[in-house]
Structure formats: C-alpha cells, structure tokens
C-alpha cells in the first residue's frame, strides 16, 4: 500500500508557501495551509518591536495562536511534512497549536523550514513534546531547493 503524505505549512510572507507547494509536488503529497484564525499584519510580524504580536507570542512558552481550519482526514496520512519560517531560531508557536490538535501517534513527522539566516537549531526538540508518540525524522532548511532535490529528499525518508 502506498504511503499517503501531507505537506502542512504556515507561511507569514509567502516564502514558506512557495517552498511547501514545491515540496508537495515533489513528494506527491497533499497540501494544507496552517492559517491563523486572526491573520498577522505587517506590524504583528515586526520582530524588532518587542510588543508586536509575533514577539509577544514567541516570548510566551504557553502561547497557542488559534488555527482557522483543520485537516479533516489527518488519520489517513502516514507522513506529515511540517513547514514554517524560522522565528527566533525555532518554529512559530502556531506550529505547536497545530501539532497539539491531532493524534499523531505513529505518524512520521518531517520538519522543513525557510529562513533568512538561522538553521533549524533545536526546533525538533522544542516541538517533540507536542506530538510525543510520533516518529520524528529531523528536517532541513529548503531555501531555494529545486523540485528534483526535494523529490530525492522525500524519497530518502521512505
């Protein structure tokens, strides 16, 4: 039986959305956008302002921004590629909201990210408690990756 894959992503500026779309094509996966119930404005995303929404969320370990919609058939997927921009050297808190919304026991989770400068760092260890019974497969930055490189990466995970 062929494994079913989902690429779920959060994108604030569109960069991660483009990467996720390319990965979904390359990995023959379905695509789902993790959208915040209250969209982020440019002011919300101003990381230089300590009072901006993104700064406040990232400084609060308990922050769980509400997600607009759910993956209706999560149980049907074997592999979840989970993507996001790197914020403050880790995943945005909405990713924790998403992970905690599903029973991901036994599912393979593969992280991917876009970043202006930092790598994944300790992102996986920060997210693991949100889906402790999943099978975590690490991840990578996919800035500027080609569809053929992403296809090879996705196949290497099977």
Q: How far apart are CA 91 and CA 96, in angstroms?
A: 8
Q: Is the pLDDT of residue 117 over 90?
A: no
Closest listed residue to residue 109, CA positions, set 125, 94, 121: 125
- List of domains in the chain: 5-156 (3.40.50.360)
Spatial contact of 68 and 36, defined as CB atoms under 8 Å apart: yes
| pTM (two decimals) | 0.95
Which residues have C-beta within 8 Å of that of residue 93, sequence separation ≥ 6?
57, 58, 60, 63, 64, 65
Q: What pLDDT digit, counting tens, does each position of 54-87 carry?
A: 999 999 999 999 999 999 999 999 999 999 999 9
Give the DSSP letter of residue 131.
S
Give the residue carrying structure tokens 């992970």: 99
């Amino acid at each position: 039986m062929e494994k079913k894959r989902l690429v779920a992503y959060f994108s604030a500026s569109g960069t991660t959305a483009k990467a996720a779309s390319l990965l979904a094509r390359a990995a023959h996966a379905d695509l789902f956008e993790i959208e915040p119930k209250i969209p982020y404005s440019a002011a919300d995303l101003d990381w230089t302002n300590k009072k901006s929404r993104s700064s406040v969320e990232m400084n609060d370990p308990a922050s769980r921004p509400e997600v607009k919609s759910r993956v209706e058939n999560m149980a049907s997927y074997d592999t979840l590629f989970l993507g996001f921009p790197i914020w403050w050297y880790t995943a945005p808190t909405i990713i924790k909201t998403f992970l905690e919304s599903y029973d991901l026991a036994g599912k393979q989770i593969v992280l991917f990210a876009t970043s202006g400068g930092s790598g994944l760092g300790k992102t996986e260890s920060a997210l693991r408690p949100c889906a402790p019974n999943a099978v975590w497969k690490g991840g990578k930055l996919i800035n500027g990756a080609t569809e053929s490189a992403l296809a090879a990466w996705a196949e290497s995970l099977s």
